Amino acid sequence: MNQTEPQALAADTATPVVAVVPRINITVFCSTQATQAAMQQVVVDRRMARAHVDVRNGGIMSAAQAYSQATTPEVLVLETEGHRDQVLSELSQLAQVCDPSTKVVLIGHVNDVILYRELIRQGLSEYLVAPVHQLQVIDAISSLFNEPGADPIGRIVAFIGAKGGVGSSTIAHNVAALASGEDKVDTIVTDLDLAFGTAGLNFNQDPAHGIAEAIASSDRIDQTMLERLLTKCGERLNLLSAPAQVEKSLGIEDDTLEPIIDAVRSSAPLIILDIPNLWTVWSKQLLIGADDVIITSTPDLASLRNTKNIFDFLTAARPNDKAPLIILNQVGVQKRPEIPVAEFSKAIGVEPTAVIPFDAHVFGTAASNGQMVGEVGPKSKAAEQISMLEQLLIGKDPEASMKNKGGSALAKLLPMLRKK
């Protein structure tokens, strides 16, 4: 329980060292003017420059109502003026709508160490006693992500093509654009196709050579350096871009990427790895280490064979993880003999998660203009399939999100409270 007196902090000339808060969504519900005033200071603080903060009026019940239909952000900060039983009862209602991985910080008006211990034991991330100082709030949020042993923020989704040119990068970039745009999930695209990467082109940017510099200094990469190397492509979309130059042959040593991926992963909730069609020690390591793997394939024999080999390899190497998802792309090219979807699925042993038709107009226009498929052909089957894939990956697919609701740390409160 953070009980630092606000006056003491304000009077202290030696400002405490508080780490920068990563790119996350934070929603605050506060019910007193004093907390509202502190929050106005939180929002403008330099340490919050990367985060998106939404300050609203209300308490725990306002949050429970607001999120009965919507997804909860990475962090919820809630103020309550209630006493012990009321706090526990209101939190149990919030727990029913709280998404997995949402961290809840409570600002309470009761300085009760027993209540504090109980709340922390039951899944609350932090309890602060009002009145709060802005730096106390920032410190509480920052510590959730920066302390040793803190959960990594970023979910890593690795995209690889079963052979060259199957559309893996295009799909990866479109998923990133949807997640960071409509769904407001801060996303970093890491383009690992050093010589030929297209992320800069597809996002209509002429970016710095982020990934090349990161590789050159991988032994000393930190958040400050990463910040300098990222290219901003949208309010919530950043790119660690490939140099796309052939003069220098840039190699990736086997363990160069690990510190870079760790740094990127500490910076935003969604990390899209655009891995070229290469089978090397580092590409295998990235695929094995990812939270989700997407293999993009086309309906021909070489793609089928490679997809099967990659799928079987990764399923064996990740026995406790979700199997890779398969996207069958560029389906239905006129006059081209193709392996039918049913036969393709039978040979691999799983159905493709999405089947995307060959659409020369939509994909060609998007590639030429640096636009996304959904902008060029919002009603196209390709846009619909990519959107479905994106919803699935960010856990917004209706079935998945119903299963997820109530899975958060806070949701553990529910059964415990019911027993009382």
Ligand X SMILES: Nc1ncnc2c1ncn2[C@@H]1O[C@H](COP(=O)(O)OP(=O)(O)OP(=O)(O)O)[C@@H](O)[C@H]1O
Q: Is residue 298 close enough to count as binding Mg ion by CB under 5 A?
A: no
Contact window for Mg ion (CB under 5 A) among 19-27, 101-109, 124-132, 168-176: 168-176
**Partners of 419 in the β-ladder:** none
Write the DSSP string, 42-74: HHHSGGGTTSEEEEEE--HHHHHHHTTTS---S
Selected range binding ligand X among 27-35, 192-200, 244-252, 391-399, rule: CB under 6 A: 192-200
Helices (H), 45-83: 60-66
Choose from Mg ion, ligand X, none: what does 48 bind? Cβ within 5-8 Å by kind. none
Q: Which residues contact 57 (CB under 8 A, 6 or more apart)?
A: 29, 30, 31, 36
The residue nearest Mg ion at its CB is: 169
Choice between 72 and 198, CB closer to Mg ion: 198
Binding partner of 72, given ligand X, Mg ion, none, CB within 5-8 angstroms per partner class: none
Number of residues interacting with ligand X: please give it, by CB under 6 A.
22
- Would you say the C-alpha torsion 151, 152, 155, 160 has a positive or negative sign? negative
Cβ proximity to ligand X: between 329 and 408 the closer is 329
**Residue span 157-176 as binding mask against ligand X, x where in contact by CB under 6 A, dash where not:** ----x--xxxxxxx------
Which token pair is 46? 């330099």
Residue 371, interface with ligand X (CB under 6 A)? no
With tokens 């042959």, the residue in question is 249
Q: Cβ distance 274 to 199 under 8 Å?
A: yes
Q: Which of ligand X, Mg ion, none does residue 363 bind to, with CB < 5 to 8 Å depending on kind? A: ligand X
Closer by beta carbon to ligand X, 21 or else 354: 354
Does 186 engage in binding with ligand X (CB under 6 A)? no
Considering only residues 25, 35, 92, 169, which one is a binding residue for Mg ion as defined by CB under 5 A? 169
Query: Total binding residues for Mg ion by CB under 5 A?
Result: 1
- Is 108 near ligand X (CB under 6 A)? no
Question: Which range, of 50-58, 169-177, 243-251, 378-386, touches Mg ion by CB under 5 A?
Answer: 169-177
3-state class (DSSP) for residue 134: helix
387's contact among ligand X, Mg ion, none, with CB below 5 to 8 A by partner kind, is none
Beta-carbon contacts of 39 under 8 Å, excluding residues fewer than 6 positions away, are 28, 30, 53, 55, 134, 137
- Quickly count: other Cβ atoms within 10 Å of residue 15's Cβ: 8
Residue choice 328, 359, 383, 414 for contact with ligand X (CB under 6 A): 359
**What is the Cα–Cα distance from 217 to 223, expressed in whole angstroms?**
13
Out of 25, 297, 329, 391, name the contact with ligand X by CB under 6 A. Answer: 329
Binding-site member from 94, 153, 355, 382 for ligand X (CB under 6 A)? 382
Contact 244, 197 (CB under 8 A): yes
Q: What does 297 interact with, of ligand X, Mg ion, none (CB < 5 to 8 A by kind)?
A: none
Does 195 engage in binding with ligand X (CB under 6 A)? Answer: no
Part of the chain binding ligand X (CB under 6 A), chosen from 31-39, 119-127, 145-153, 358-366: 358-366
Provide the minimum distance between the beta carbon of 173 and ligand X in the complex, in angstroms, as a whole number.
8
Closer residue to ligand X in complex, CB, 233/382: 382
Nearer of residues 72 and 169 to Mg ion, judged by Cβ: 169
Burial group, residue 239, by CB count within 10 angstroms (0-12, 13-18, 19+): buried
**Residue from the set 72, 102, 125, 198 that interacts with ligand X by CB under 6 A:** 198
Between the CA of residue 85 and those of 111, 119, 321, 417, what are the distances in Å? 14, 12, 40, 10
In the bound state with ligand X, the residue whose beta carbon lies nearer, of 116 and 159, is 159
Q: Which is nearer to Mg ion, 170 or 267 (CB)?
A: 170
Q: Tell me if 354 sits within 8 A of 385, measured CB to CB.
A: yes
Q: Which residue has the tokens 């130059």?
A: 245
Site for ligand X in 260-319 (CB under 6 A): 276-277
Q: Which residues, 6+ apart, have CB-to-CB distance to 252 below 8 Å?
A: 192, 194, 215, 280, 282
Q: Report the alpha-carbon distance of residue 102 to residue 125 in Å, rounded.
A: 9
Nearest CA to 328 out of 349, 310, 307 is that of 307
Residue 381: both structure tokens together: 């089957």
Does 283 contact Mg ion by CB under 5 A? no
Question: In the 8-state DSSP scheme, what is residue 2?
Answer: B
Angle ∠(112,118,120) on CA atoms, nearest 5: 100
Name the site residues for ligand X (rule: CB under 6 A): 161, 164-170, 193, 196, 198, 276-277, 329-330, 356, 358-360, 363, 367, 382
* Site for Mg ion, rule CB under 5 A: 169
